[in-house]
Structure 1
Amino acid sequence: MNIKHYEIEIEPENPFANCKLDRQKYSGVLTNIINSYTYGFVLALNNKWGTGKTTFVKMWEQDLKNNGFQTLYFNAWENDFENNPLTALMGELKTLTTKETEPAFKKTLKKASTLTKHIAPIIAKAIADRYIDTEGVKEAIIGVTKGLSDVFENEVNEYQKKKKSISDFRQSLSEFIASTNEGKPLIFIVDELDRCRPNYAVSILEQIKHFFSIPNIVFILSIDKEQLGNAVKGVYGSDDIDADEYLRRFIDLEYSIPEPEVDVFYKYLYDYFQFDQFFRSAERSKYHELKSDKSNFLETCKLLFTNANIPLRQQEKIFAHSRLALRSFGVNMYVVPHTFLLLIFLKIKHNEFYEELKSRSLSIKEVQDKFISVIKVKVNEETERQLMWLEISLVNAYNNYSQERYHRKSLYERDKETGQNKALISSIIKENSENDVMHILESINRGRGIGDLDLSHFVKRIDLLEDLKT
């Protein structure tokens, strides 16, 4: 049994063979775009964190290689220890060299070193201007010891040298790429840009624009545009900057990978983490009241994940933790999957609420209010009943937990006039829902002991405070 979800294996001959999200068709669309605009451009793959961008671009990269493209994959986050992105980008390009193209690359590298020499004093001065107020210290750092007229003349000369250095570098780089790509553009994939140090991320964008904007290079930026926009605002020290407009200067085309089909991913995770080994084991199958655990678990997955748009990576974490925690349940113990999964969802996604539940610091009304605030599921005819079950099951377990057993206030009472049970609470999901709530409470308490379970039954196992069974 796996305790974590490992990277999907990418088969060289069929890179999308293990893709569980049916994304190969988007690879074809993007490759056709490249074939239509081979001159060179910057494409942004814009999706939220945790939606599987990295897996997709690695599969697509292999598919591009299979179609005769030369590719480079650069994980910007893993390389932001390097202060100068130009060094890192040139280091990636070096991997393309062969015995025949090595002279062309060395020529390009020499141009890059000249370029770096000319832009370094300007970068140093910009840093000094931004962070240092004492003019004398500024001059000590940037070596300004001449008169003002000499400084101005020197800056004009440096401007000319810098401009020529950029032009020479781009020309040399263009010639090098032309000698390696056999008529097809080089595909340069930059991943995890939004996770870098903000100044490093912005510097990469600037250098791609100014130094690498040449024929026959297609840059693929795998990003969460909102997070990258926040990095831009951080670098420039203002929330008033239009980050979206800023990023348009660098991005020629933006593409978002569509969300996967409903039910696909969580069902894959259910199989991957081998939940049937527990829910459908021969021992548990002997108990009639436990036979619906699998269906209840999957229905709750659908409710929490697909309706609330939980990122794939967080779904993985929830499944991994759920499978581990299940090992602390005996074969004849109640799991109550909808309550169990809800609490793990809260622990990972809304830990503050989870800890408040454990501390017994909330009233029943506060539990209900917080429940609706974190369960961002659209209430409709399909979800209303399921949401009420989640809510009332949580409230029942919390009520049992927050009070002493023999002084516990019940959530319902018998009506003296009608002789029928009457709910003392209503659902926050639906107004005037006492009858529905009473039906749920009766169903919960109809089972053998489920209605008496308190929150500790779940959290002790979710927090891994009980021994794991082999």
Structure 2
Amino acid sequence: MNIKHYEIEIERENPFANCKLGRKKYSSVLTKIVNSYPYGFVLALNNKWGTGKTTFVKMWEQDLKNNHYQTLYFNAWENDFEDNPLTALMGELKSITTKETEPEFKKTLRKASTMTKHIAPIIVKAIADRYIDTEGVREAIVGVTKGLTDVFENEVDEYQKKKKSISEFRQSLSEFIASTNKGKPLIFIVDELDRCRPNYAVSILEQIKHFFSVSNIVFILSIDKIQLGNAVKGVYGNADLDADEYLRRFIDIEYSIPEPEEDIFYNYLYEYFKFDDYFGSSERSRYTGVERDKSNFLETCRLLFTNAQIPLRQQEKIFAHTRLALRSFSWGAHVVPEIFLFLTFIKIRHDDFYRKMKSKSLSIKEFQERFLGVIKIEINEETDSQLLWLEVYLVNVYNNSLKGTYYGTPLIIRDDITSERKLNVVSIIKKDADHEFISILDHINRGRGPGGLDLTYFTRRIDLLEDIRT
């Protein structure tokens, strides 16, 4: 049984064979864009963290290779130990050299070396005065015979040399790339840029713009634009900087991979983590009242994952934790998948809510309001019944935990005059639904149902405080 989601295997001949999100069609669109503008540009794949960008670009990269494109994949986050991004980028380019193209690469490398030489260490005396008190040391550093005019002239000369070296480097780089790929552009994928040290990320952008903006190279930046924009603001120390406008200087085309179709990913995760090994096992099937466990679990997945745009990576984490905690239930135990999954969901997504529930510091009304804020779903005729059931289950479990506390109170009371049973709370999901609320409470409290379970029964398992089956 898996307790974490491993990287998806990318088959060489059919790279999208194991894609569970139907994204091959988007790689075809992007490849056509590359074909339409083969002379070089920067394309940003802009999606939030945890939406599967890395898996997608790796699959697309293999698909490009299969179509005879030359590609490079550069994980900027894994390489931000290198102070100068130019060193890392040139190192990646070196990997595509052959015996025939090595002379061209070495020529380009020499141009890069010339370009990156720092201006000669000439320190103007006026600057040295700020830091050094000893006159003799000052004069030795500045160079006694150098005057300010000489310094300025030298800086102008160095500026011209550097400007020329940049032009020569770009020309040499373009010629090198042209010699490696038979007329097709090099596809240079830069991934995880938004996770780098901010100054490193900005430096990569600047160097791509100023040094690598040549024909024959298409850069693919896999980014979360909002996070990258925050990095830009941090580097420039200006929270009011228009980061979006700044990034437009570097990005020619922006593309966002559409969200996967509803139901696809959580159904895949259900199978990947083998929940049927428990819910569909012969051992569990011996018990009554468990027949709908699987369907209730998946219906709750639909409520939680298809309406709040939960990142795929967080969905993986929720499923992995849920599957591990599920091993603490015996074959005949009440699981109540709706409650179990929801509580695991908020432990990972809304820890403050989870901790306040455990500490019993919320009133029933406050609990219901937090519940409504978490589900983030439109309540309509299609969803109100299921949401009402979930609300009743959760309110009942939480209220069972409140017994003997300040907030403890019966959910149902009897009228002193008519003896009619009345609901002591108001549903936040469905107004004027007292009768339905009471009916659901009666159902779950009937016989040996789960109505008597309290919050601790679930949280001890979710917090991995109970033994698990081996």
Say yes or no: TM over 0.5.
yes
**Residue 117 of structure 1 aligns to which amino acid in structure 2?**
K
- Which residue does 1:301 correspond to in 2? 301
Partner Cα distance (2:130, 2:373) in 1: 53
What is the SS of the residue equivalent to 1:290? coil
**Residue 25 of structure 2 aligns to which amino acid in structure 1?**
K
Gaps of 5+ in 1: 126-131
Q: Does 1:193 align with 2:193?
A: yes
Matches within 5 A, 1:60-209: 60-118=60-118, 135-136=130-131, 147-209=147-209
Per-residue CA distance 1:317-341 (angstroms, 9 max, x = gap) = 0000011000000000000001000
Partner Cα distance (2:94, 2:322) in 1: 45
C-alpha contact (below 8 Å) 1:275/1:323 kept by paired residues? yes
Aligned-pair CA distance for 1:288:
2.2
Percent identical across equivalent pairs?
A: 73
- Which residue does 2:27 correspond to in 1? 27
- Which residue does 1:321 correspond to in 2? 321
C-alpha contact (below 8 Å) 1:356/1:362 kept by paired residues? yes
- Which residue does 1:430 correspond to in 2? 430
Of 387-396 and 327-336, the range deviating more from structure 2: 387-396
Of 259-268 and 363-372, the range deviating more from structure 2: 363-372
Aligned length: 460
C-alpha contact (below 8 Å) 1:72/1:188 kept by paired residues? yes
Aligned-pair CA distance for 1:449:
3.8
Aligned-pair CA distance for 1:415:
3.1
C-alpha contact (below 8 Å) 1:118/1:158 kept by paired residues? no
Aligned-pair CA distance for 1:408:
5.3
- Which residue does 2:236 correspond to in 1? 236
What is the SS of the residue equivalent to 1:118? coil
- Which residue does 1:128 correspond to in 2? none
- Which residue does 1:37 correspond to in 2? 37
Per-residue CA distance 1:424-465 (angstroms, 9 max, x = gap) = 111222334433332332232235241110001101110110
C-alpha contact (below 8 Å) 1:284/1:291 kept by paired residues? no
**Residue 20 of structure 1 aligns to which amino acid in structure 2?**
K
Partner Cα distance (1:155, 1:264) in 2: 61
Partner Cα distance (1:216, 1:327) in 2: 54
Partner Cα distance (2:272, 2:15) in 1: 19
Partner Cα distance (1:238, 1:133) in 2: 29
Partner Cα distance (2:175, 2:33) in 1: 24
Partner Cα distance (1:444, 1:147) in 2: 92
1:418–1:281 CA distance, 2 compared to 1 (3 A): farther
What is the SS of the residue equivalent to 2:118? helix
Partner Cα distance (1:418, 1:320) in 2: 51
Partner Cα distance (2:361, 2:315) in 1: 28
Using the size of structure 1 for normalisation, the TM-score is: 0.93
What is the SS of the residue equivalent to 1:289? coil
**Residue 377 of structure 1 aligns to which amino acid in structure 2?**
I
- Which residue does 1:381 correspond to in 2? 381
Q: CA RMSD in A?
A: 2.4
1:382–1:83 CA distance, 2 compared to 1 (3 A): same
- Which residue does 1:9 correspond to in 2? 9
Partner Cα distance (2:228, 2:404) in 1: 51
Aligned-pair CA distance for 1:92:
0.3
Aligned-pair CA distance for 1:246:
0.6
Partner Cα distance (2:207, 2:31) in 1: 25
Per-residue CA distance 1:188-233 (angstroms, 9 max, x = gap) = 0000001111111111000000000000000000011111111111
Of 425-434 and 188-197, the range deviating more from structure 2: 425-434
What is the SS of the residue equivalent to 2:73? strand
Aligned-pair CA distance for 1:306:
0.6
Comparing both structures, which one devotes a greater share of its residues to helix?
A: 1
Partner Cα distance (1:243, 1:364) in 2: 43
1:370–1:150 CA distance, 2 compared to 1 (3 A): farther
Partner Cα distance (1:196, 1:458) in 2: 39
- Which residue does 1:287 correspond to in 2? 287
1:401–1:179 CA distance, 2 compared to 1 (3 A): same
Aligned-pair CA distance for 1:149:
3.0
C-alpha contact (below 8 Å) 1:44/1:253 kept by paired residues? yes
**Residue 47 of structure 2 aligns to which amino acid in structure 1?**
N
Aligned-pair CA distance for 1:119:
6.7
Aligned-pair CA distance for 1:378:
2.3
**Residue 329 of structure 1 aligns to which amino acid in structure 2?**
F
**Residue 380 of structure 2 aligns to which amino acid in structure 1?**
N
Q: Does 1:369 align with 2:335?
A: no
Of 392-401 and 196-205, the range deviating more from structure 2: 392-401
Q: Does 1:210 align with 2:240?
A: no
Per-residue CA distance 1:102-161 (angstroms, 9 max, x = gap) = 111111111111111137979x99xxxxxx999427x99xx7665433332222122112
1:279–1:112 CA distance, 2 compared to 1 (3 A): same
Partner Cα distance (2:434, 2:227) in 1: 44
Gaps of 5+ in 2: none
C-alpha contact (below 8 Å) 1:79/1:88 kept by paired residues? yes
Aligned-pair CA distance for 1:396:
1.5
Partner Cα distance (1:337, 1:421) in 2: 29
Aligned-pair CA distance for 1:373:
2.2
Per-residue CA distance 1:330-364 (angstroms, 9 max, x = gap) = 00000000100000000111111111111122221
1:434–1:154 CA distance, 2 compared to 1 (3 A): farther
What is the SS of the residue equivalent to 2:43? strand
- Which residue does 1:338 correspond to in 2? 338
Aligned-pair CA distance for 1:365:
1.8
1:394–1:147 CA distance, 2 compared to 1 (3 A): farther
**Residue 306 of structure 1 aligns to which amino acid in structure 2?**
T
C-alpha contact (below 8 Å) 2:369/2:428 kept by paired residues? yes
Partner Cα distance (2:52, 2:379) in 1: 28
